[in-house]
Amino acid sequence: MIERTLVLLKPDAVKRGLMGRVISRFEDAGLKVVGSKMVLINEEFGKKHYYDIAARRGEKVLQVLLKFMTTGPVMALCLEGVNAVENVRKLVGGTEPKSALPGTIRGDFSHISFAYADAQGKAIENLIHASGNPEEAKQEIALWFTAEELHSYKTAHETHVF
């Protein structure tokens, strides 16, 4: 099934200059970038995106996360491909970078643990947000992109295969 998903390259990925390397990983896996933009979000927008974090993990976690997400620009991507949500999450790796498998983006580019971040009173800097399921992806894409900002096109591979 061809589907779309949202990926956010968080401020730590942007500040470390990893955007191109991370986007290449998605493209190398056959995913297509159909929307992209760099955004400096404010707390209000952050609350819209992370609307359920306080209920699931507590208000303190939400505040720490919002503080981190507003420290610098975020690169928002809409990716398209076969089972895009599932495949992006496999490529990204586990939420805790310390536990993420080698070969995943988090496993290769980060090593922060939940315990370290908690001890420092800061958010886990794990480079990326990736939609958790297809329904969440639809909601998140609609929040981050207008219809005019999303594009349909055939890649060179698609034109040769189909």
Indicate if the pLDDT at residue 160 is higher than 70. Answer: no
Burial class (CB in 10 A: 0-12, 13-18, 19+), 156: exposed
**Which of 143, 145, 147, 149 has its CA nearest to residue 52?**
143
Residue 144 banded pLDDT, cuts 50, 70, 90: very high
Q: pLDDT tens across 2-19, in order? A: 999 999 999 999 999 999
Please tell me the pTM assigned to this model: 0.94
By 3-state DSSP, what share of the chain in percent is helix, strand and coil, each rounded to 5?
Answer: 50, 15, 30
Residues recognised as catalytic: 129
The mean pLDDT value for 55-78 works out to 92
Q: pLDDT tens across 52-64, in order? A: 877 788 788 889 9
* Average pLDDT over all residues of the chain: 94
Structural domains of the chain sorted by starting position, each given as residue range(s) with its CATH number in brackets: 2-148 (3.30.70.141)
